[in-house]
Every structure is written in structure tokens, then in C-alpha cells.
Structure 1
Amino acid sequence: MANYRIGIDVGGTHTDAVILDDSYNVIAQTKAPTSTDVSSGIYQALHEVVKTSKVDVRNINYAMLGTTHCTNAIVERKRLNDIAIIRIGAPATLAIKPLLSVPDDLKAILGKHSYIVKGGHEFDGREITELDEEDLYRIANEIKGKVDSVAITSVFSPVTKKHEERAAEIITEILGDDVAVSLSSEIGNVGLLERENATILNAAVVNVAKSTADGFIQALEQEGIEADVFFGQNDGTLMSVEYTVRYPILTIACGPTNSLRGAAYLSNKSNTLVIDVGGTTTDIGVLVNGFPRQSSLAVEIGGVRTNFRMPDIMSVGLGGGTIIQVHEDQTFQIGPHSVGYRLQEKALIFGGDTLTTTDVIVGLGKAKLGDPAKVAHLDKALLENIYAKMVGMVEEALDKMKTSAEDMPVILVGGGSILLPEELQGASEVIRPENFGVANAIGSAISQVSGEVEKIFAMDDLGREQTIEVAKNMAKEEAINAGADPDQLVIVDLEYVPLAYLPGNATRIRAKAAGALKNTVGV
């Protein structure tokens, strides 16, 4: 009996869906306009792809979703949880309050219940001061009934998380299990303020993640599908619904990473550059051993500086729906605005009134879409200049993402990649694989499950080899918790950096394990 899986990815312009068989062949694919509320676009794409495939829904075992719900909630400041912020760090951290650098509009929403209590640890794991449990009980009783999510951050908790875990026990004891608790040691890396910010954002989008998961499961049930559900996370792998609701912040930026994973699978290349052109932006990333290269810098989300794991992606304001403004002197501006999912109503070739990048390539005969007669009046020399600038924008970004001056293979994916030519400066070859238009949904469907740990270890305690093994096993345990098959796990990334200024031969170790879903074949 054949087994099938559904992959859905929500982009700024289109929501793409695919159904794959157990050999990862594409059985059906569809693109639906991304709806303002996101959910109805997902339902439409799901319904269409199931209908087109003519597959027996009883044989669909897995459903994967890469979604922008949590990102949108933070950026739009909508549907966020009522949260409490608890920092364990007095008196050491009293000088800088939580949310200090967060935009005022977001601070007004998230900063209503903010506390700093005594506790925390030194960089070597020594206690700064004893945890003030009495104060935590007072806070818990004060916020009871006022919040539905709590963010707890302790000084140097990636080294030891004892104070965070005890604080969580007290909060849960008073507020009950229905109130979500986010611990910074499970989300961010070393660096108090950025880690605290990531934890606060995580706590703020728990309800959004829950409603998204519930909505997706309901949509599947409406189609008669009883499948195991997984969500894409921003390192190009999957996580279970339970894991998603606990760590919803990890779904941010899963769209570009799904495209990278899809590109790796479709092209059978694991170390290369990927250009994903959508309707609104062009995202450029780097594949390292089949997974997206991770960013080593702090990342801003909705104006908030964070330090949890994020892919190294460069976005350029160029997509299939990007608006071209032409001035009287024949100068022009490309973007940054886009008609987005309204391309088929706004672009000139579809009878609209807005000049877009898609109109430019149709006008130059580089693509066959819509009605070419509607752009026949446009000045060809002007269109050539615009097109040269479009390609130049991507080539410049490509150059910035490379780590050497040598030309590298480039994989083109995304429905908007028809904007780009078969040759690009800086590329040794340009590969446009079959099914390139739905690479993101394919990436969602074929992704593995991963777990990652980043922690400071004292090498003197166990020795170098044993300490690294401990870190690897911790990463594998995280992957198993996220839904991976224990028998198919491999370490896909390992990095260790000695910290010369810390005692005990301290070393920061980052380990990442990945493997296939339980009861399925690895990719």
C-alpha cells in the first residue's frame, strides 16, 4: 500500500501545496493565493491538492506545514498572548530592564507584567545569589488570572538552568498547567538581553501557534485525512505539534529554509547557493551538507533583537509582483512594494493598471504569461534597462552571500524565478530543477526532524571526547523529543569554541542531530 505525505508552505504571495508518494515523487501540486488571514489560503491549497491528486486520503500519513502565522503576529502586533516577564538576575542586572530596546508599541503590549527577582549564576555555573522563591510565589499570585503565558530568563542559564526550572515549578504550581511557560535556556544562546527577547517573543506567540495547529488539524479532518502533523522550523527541519506549541518562535523564517531543503532534494546538491524568487522577495541562502547555513549574528524580528538559531538568509525586494515606478525622465525604481497575491488582478498583462517585474519579462519575450499585447506599447530599451537592473540586484546579493571569490553552482527555485536568466555573474552554473515552482512545499514535505544544543561545558570535568559525546547525545535527545526516529539520527553539525577567559577549560559546544520521522524512510 502506498503511503503519501502533504507539504504546505505559506509565502507572502502564494500558499503552495504538494502531495508526495513514499519515494518522494510529486503526485500533485497547487498554488493558491495567500489569504490575508493566512488560514483560508492553507485550506484552499489543501483542498485543491487533495482533489487534484485523486489519492485515497486514508493513505496520507504525514502532513507538514511551513507557516508565517507567528512571524505575522509579531510584525503586525496582533493576537499576542497576555504575558508576564520574569528575569532572575537581581541585583546583578537591575541597571537594564527587560524590553529596553524593544519598539514602544510592542513594549506597551508585552511589558505590562515585568519583574526582576534575586538569583542567577556566574559564567562558570557558580550561584550569584540564592533564588528568591518567596518573591516568585508573590509574583505568581499577583499575575494569576491576568496572564496566559510566562517568559522566564536567568543569568547564564545556558550554563546551568536550575533557577529557571525551579521558577517554572513555582509558576505552574500557582497558575496551573494551562499557562504556558517559556524558559530562555531552551530557546536562546549565551547573551542575556537577546536571549530574554527571544524568550519573550516565544511566550507571546504560543496562542497563535496553538490556533494554527488546531486549524490545520481541523482542515485535514475536513478532508478525511488522519495524518501525523509536523511544522517546519527555521533550520530546515520539522518538529511535532507539541514541540511547535512549546517553541513557536522556531517557526520563524521556515519559509526560505523549506525552499533551500527542497532545492537540495530536487537538484541532488548539498553544498551550493540557492535563490528562491517569490512574489514579493528574492531570498538567497547557502546549503551546507544539505541544510541551510546558520547565521552567527543576532537577528531582528519585528524590531526586536534576538539570538536564537536562525538561517543566514539575504532578502532582496524583488519578486514576481514587485512594482516598477517609471518617472517622466525615463528613470525608474524597482520596488520595494509588491502587488503580492493580487498579481493576477493588478499586473498589466492580466488587465490591471500596475507595471510589475512580470510585465517586464513578458514584454521582453522572456516568458509567456497573460496577454503580451497589453505590454506591447512599452519601450523595449526601457524594459531592457529595468531587466538589467533586476538581474544586477540579485547578482550583487549573490556576491555578498559567497564566502570566496570563486564562482559557485546556483539553484533557482520559486515561482518568480522565471524572472532570472539561465546565466548569472558569479555562478558557475544555474540549475532550475523540475518542480522548481513548489520547491518550498516539497522542502516542507521531505524535511527531517532535528534537535540542537548550544551550551558551555567545562572540559576538565569529563575530558574533551566524553564532553563532546554528552553534547551530541543531548542534541539527539532534542531531536527525538521533536519526533525523530532514534535509529536514524546522525550528527549533521558540530562546533566547539574554547573560551579562554573562563575557568575549567570551558568550551562552547553546538551540536545538531537530524533524522527521518518515525516510521518513514530518511532523505
Structure 2
Amino acid sequence: MHIGIDVGGTNTDAVLVDRTHVLEAVKNPTTSDVTSGIIGALDDLAAGRPFDPQDIDAVAIGTTHFTNAVVQARGLASTAAIRLGLPAAAGVPPLTAWPRRLRLALGDHVYLCSGGHEFDGREISPLDEDELRRVAADLAAKGVRSAAITSIFSPVNAEVELRAAEILRAELPELRVSLSHEIGRVGLLERENATVINASLLPVAEQITNAFLKALDKAGIDAPLYLSQNDGTLMDVDYVRRYPVATFAAGPTNSMRGAAVLSGLSDCIVVDVGGTTTDVGAVVGGFPRPATTEVDIGGVRTNFRMPDVVSIGIGGGSRVTLGDTPVIGPESVGFLIHQEAMVFGGSTLTATDIAVAGGRLRLGDPSLVAHLDRADVRRCQQAIAERVAVLADSMRTSAEPIPMVLVGGGSVLLPEEMPGFDAVVRPEHFAVANAIGAAIAQVGGEVDKVYSGQDLDREDILAEAKAEARQKALLAGATADSIRIVEVDELPMAYLPGNAVRVRVKAVGDLIFGGSR
């Protein structure tokens, strides 16, 4: 058996799963410190379906800890942004477009140094090792403990980033280092931004994973801990401590993976209605469709892998103002819904109250919303359905019919028929699809590189990229015979010479179960 947990802004959901069969599911309010909510969820699982902690093979958690740290600019490490690219790449220095509060939170330490390569691997300028030693001395004087190293076209040739890290660590053995070729994609500025964010989160990753491990210890569970990534796969504790940025948007991703498994649909539009927001995404081949544009994280443009998700401020805790044109959200009572919603004796009219008044949900005390005007309630329900349907329709890529899958506890706000969709599915255990997505997740590996067509033909390029993706999945903990290629994208780069092509390959496989942490 294994356990899946998803920490949302309103609820912390947990499931006990025997491979893909759900044995027990619980939904608790998220606590302010999050970790105690996880302990409570584990306790409730054991109370609802007693199990021997030694029978748990793995625990997978999807968390908002790291996203919240960046959005709130809290707990981030003082971080140096080191770019290797002189004499080129000096026009737009690192952190240029960052929000001021985030720059200040990281200390605004920027260094431009020699190095980098062209797209075909040719050197721009030699790495100046003495220059890097002077940077290390400056970091030591300022007490900076984290560094992000980015060089031009490092996804093609990473040797200068690797050498720079060696030099800095030799001078500063305690320095935490993130390398851009391991984190972002080809574009320099967005890849650099993602790497700086990752480096700033390294101490947070250490604290959070330790807290999760202690929570498992308290529950008597001696099983490997995994965290959900934003591509629908899992990563172990050591990986999280190196790449915490990979957890961003894990919640919507888990919901989409869970929706695909629960509904049995490999291609669908998933609508996940939580307590605060409704997230809509597309599932293709059983996995979330990746975003093709830059992703904004706390006001910073990044280009690491993220699911293509759009959101709207409608959820079970959304504040509602009735009338001819009802107003729903975006403000939400969040995890205080059990104190503030009218059906629980509170004074705030929420979307959950509307669902109860309209007969779609039995929760709390229905008599407390019996006074609401029936016409107002119907108008509000219709407005919610129409706004969500328009958002879902925007995720289509063709006019072909595609089913909609409704998941999340707040999906009870929506009717069984949605405008513009012929088939609407609300599967069993829909309310905890996010935790199920975490529990059944696989592990994977991804390659995103630029290749020169002058050196290799197309078949050799694809074979090399697929082999590297498989190897990454294997190193991540997948069983060798289960690994398969699920995505292959080729993009000719006409603005570069030499028949250059950008290739992205993703491989996934089943997690190796057994053993302890």
C-alpha cells in the first residue's frame, strides 16, 4: 500500500491506496503550518482504515510550500546570480525584471563573468577561474550561502557551469549551488530566473523535507518519501533538496493525473474545483499538457516545465454577492470555511452555501440557507457554470468533441451537464483526485536540448535524446522494464545556422517499491 497527500490552500487531502484501488480517503482543513495538517490527515487515515505502518511502501506528497515561499518572499536564502557569458550577454543583467521585494529578499547579488558557448557548442570566451575565485571571496565576505550559475546555451554544453561550480565549492565548501542546465530550458533569461529561484529555495527544501520525514516518523511509517513534480511524476527527498522549484504547480498536475486514472480517459479537459480556485487543464496521453510559453512565478518569468493550466477565482469558499448579476469570488474564506460559511453557522455567504441551498450538496445545516431567494440561487449557479465552461472551452486545441472530467471537492458547484461539452464525467473519489494523482504517480526523466543537424541525422538525434530521457527516468527510481517515451517534440530553429533543431523528450516509468528510507 502507499499513501498520497495533497496540500491545498483550503484542504489537505489524503488517500490510502493499494496500487490503484482506493482503500480510504480523508479531507481535512489545511493548517497554517501545513505540516500538522499532514500529521492529522495520516491519523485520520489510520482511524478510518487501520493499517500496519510497515505495510506502507511509499508516501507521496504534493505541497504548496515552495510556491508560497516565493510568492510571499519568505524564508528565501541570500542568493548570488552568476552569469557566464561575457563579453556577450551583458545587455540585460540578471534579475533585471524581478519585483523589487524579491530582489531584496535574495540580497540583489549579481555577477557577470566570462564563459558560455554558442548553440553548436563553440566557446564564446574561456572561463576565467581567477575571476570566479574573486566572486567566491566576495560571497564569503557578504555571507552568501546559495548561488545560481547560468551560462549561455548550457543545455547544449554544460562544461563551464560544471567547472564554475567546482571552483566556487573549492573556495566555499558550504556553498549551495544550482546549475541552470539541470533546471530550465534553452532561453537564457527565463532559465536563469528559474535557477535563481531554485537556489534561493534550497534551505527551505531542507527544512520542509525534514518536517515531512518527522511527520512520517510520528505516524510510525518507515517508507520512502516522494514529492510531486509539476510534470505529473514523483521525485525523492534528495532530488527535492536539489530541485525544489520542480514542485511548483504540483497540485493541479496531481488533480489532472488523478482525473485521468479515475475516469479511465487518457485525453480530456479536467476541471478541478477547490476551495479557492478552479484550475482547468488538458490531459493528453494520460499526462498534463505542458505549457509552451513562459510561466510567471511570483512576478518572475521562467521557462522550466509546467502544466498548461488556467485558473479562475471560483471555489467552494468563494464569497458570493447575490443579485441580478451575482458576484462570485475571487475572494475566498479559504481554510476558514468551517467557521465562516453560513451552513456552518458563520455570517459569510459562500459558493458552498449556494450549492447547499440549490440542493446539489448536503453539508452543514441546510436550514441556515433556506431563506435565500430561489431565483438568486439559480442565477448564481448558472453564472458559475458558464464562467467555468468558457474557461474550459479555451483549453481546446480543435473543434473535435472532448470529454470534461470534474474533480475536486468544490466540483459539486457544477451541474452534470456543462455548456459546450457533450460528455461530463464526475468519477468516484472525485473529491480527492489530487491525492490519488500523487499516490499513483510515476517517475520520469526529461531532455530538452538543441542539436546541430550537421553533426547527426534526425534518427540519431532522436535516439540519443530518448536514451538520455530513459536514463534520467531510471536514475529517478523507475523500474527499467516499465519505462516508456510519452512525449517527443521537435522544433526546427530556423534563426540558427547548421540545421539546428530543438528536441524535447519525456520518459516515464513505474516507481520501484519496497525498502525504507
Both structures adopt the same fold (TM-score exceeding 0.5):
yes
Mapped partners of 1:461, 1:120: distance in 2:
20
Name the aligned partner's letter for residue 402 of structure 1: R
Give SS of 1:401's match: coil
Aligned residue for 2:364?
A: 370
Deviation at 1:476, TM superposition (A): 1.4
Rounded Cα–Cα distance in structure 2 between residues aligned with 1:503 and 1:304: 31
- Letter of the structure 1 residue corresponding to residue 11 of structure 2: H
Matches within 5 A, 1:91-490: 91-144=87-140, 146-176=143-173, 178-326=174-322, 331-490=325-484
Q: Alpha-carbon deviation of 1:156?
A: 1.3
Is the contact between residue 115 and residue 126 of structure 2 (CA under 8 Å) also seen in structure 1? yes
**For 1:120, what is the secondary structure of its paired residue?**
coil
Gaps in structure 1 of 5+ consecutive residues: none
Alpha-carbon distance between aligned partners in 2 of 1:187 and 1:10, rounded to the nearest angstrom:
24
* 2:157 partner amino acid: T
* Contact 2:58–2:513 (CA under 8 A) maintained in structure 1: no
Q: Deviations over 1:475-522 (max 9, x none)?
A: 1122122222222111110111222232332110000000001147xx
1:510 aligns with 2:510: no
1:11 partner amino acid: G
Aligned residue for 2:455, secondary structure, equals helix
| Shift in Å, 1:413 | 0.7
Whole-angstrom distance in 1 between the partners of 2:470 and 2:241: 20
Q: Which of 43, 46, 49 is residue 42 of structure 2 equivalent to?
A: 46
**8 A contact 2:358–2:378 mirrored in 1:** yes
Give the C-alpha shift of residue 212 in structure 1.
Answer: 1.4
Q: Structure 2: any 5+ residue segments left out of the alignment? A: none
Between the aligned partners of 1:306 and 1:500, the Cα distance in structure 2 is 23
CA deviation vs aligned residue, 1:185-227 (integer Å, no higher than 9, x gap): 1111111111110001011111111211111111111111110
Paired residues of 1:408 and 1:426 also in contact (CA < 8 A): no
Q: Corresponding residue for 2:17?
A: 20
Moved more, 506-515 or 469-478: 469-478
State the shift of 1:463 in Å: 2.1
Could you tell me which amino acid in structure 2 is paired with residue 75 of structure 1? V
Aligned mates of 1:128, 1:111 — CA distance in 2: 29
Q: Distance in 1 between matches of 2:175 and 2:464?
A: 32
Letter of the 1:485 counterpart: T
Counterpart of 2:81 in structure 1 is: 85
Aligned-residue CA RMSD (Å) = 1.3
Deviation at 1:111, TM superposition (A): 4.0
Q: CA deviation at 1:339?
A: 0.6
State the alpha-carbon separation in 2 of the partners of residues 96 and 500 from structure 1.
Answer: 24
Deviations 1:122-157 (A, max 9, x none): 222211111111110111122127122110011111
Give the whole-Å Cα distance in 1 for the aligned partners of 2:402 and 2:497. Answer: 42
Give the number of equivalent residue pairs: 513
2:403 aligned counterpart, secondary structure: strand
Confirm or deny: 8 A CA contact 2:322 2:380 kept in the other structure. no
User: Is the CA contact (8 Å cut-off) linking 1:448 and 1:517 kept in structure 2?
Assistant: yes
For residues 290-315 of structure 1, what are the alpha-carbon distances to aligned partners after superposition, in whole Å with 9 as ceiling and x for unaligned? Answer: 00000001010011111111000011
Distance in 2 separating the partners of 1:339 and 1:10 = 16
Partner of 1:29: 25
Contact 2:258 2:438 in 1 (8 A): yes
Structure 1 segments, 4+ long, off by >4 Å, are none
**What secondary structure, in the 3-state scheme, does the structure 2 residue paired with 1:461 have?**
coil
CA distance in 2: counterparts of 1:504 and 1:280, whole angstroms: 49
State the one-letter code of the partner of 2:160: H
Q: Which amino acid is the alignment partner of residue 83 of structure 2?
A: R
State the distance in 2 between where 1:179 and 1:38 align. Answer: 29
SS at match of 2:397: coil
Give the drift of 1:331. 4.3
Q: Structure 2: how far apart are the matches of 1:356 and 1:51?
A: 30
Distance in 2 (CA, whole Å) between partners of 1:86 and 1:484 is 34
Q: Which amino acid aligns with 1:305?
A: R
Secondary structure, aligned partner of 2:269: strand
Which residue identity is paired with 2:214? Q
Counterparts of 1:360 and 1:319 in 2: how far apart (Å)?
11
Counterpart secondary structure, 1:230: strand
8 Å contact from structure 1 (residues 485, 519) kept in 2: no
Task: Answer whether contact 1:406 1:426 (CA < 8 A) is retained.
Answer: no
Distance apart, 1:365 and its partner CA: 1.8
Contact 2:39 2:219 (C-alpha < 8 Å) held by counterparts: no
Q: Which moved more, 1:122-131 or 1:69-78?
A: 122-131
- CA distance in 2: counterparts of 1:381 and 1:52, whole angstroms: 40
Tell whether the 8 Å contact from 1:398 to 1:426 is kept in structure 2 after alignment.
no
- Looking at structure 1, the residues matched to 167 and 302 of structure 2 have their Cα atoms a distance apart, in angstroms, of 26
Structure 1 residue 104: deviation in Å? 0.6
Structure 2 contact 59–226 (Cα < 8 Å) conserved: yes
SS at structure 2 position matched to 1:97: coil
Deviations 1:226-260 (CA, angstroms, capped at 9, x unpaired): 10111100011111111111111010000001011
Tell me the secondary structure at the aligned position of residue 422 of structure 2.
strand
Letter of the 1:336 counterpart:
P
Q: Deviations over 1:84-124 (max 9, x none)?
A: 11011122122211111110111112243210101111222
Aligned equivalents of 2:28 and 2:206: distance in 1? 23
Shift of 1:179: 2.5
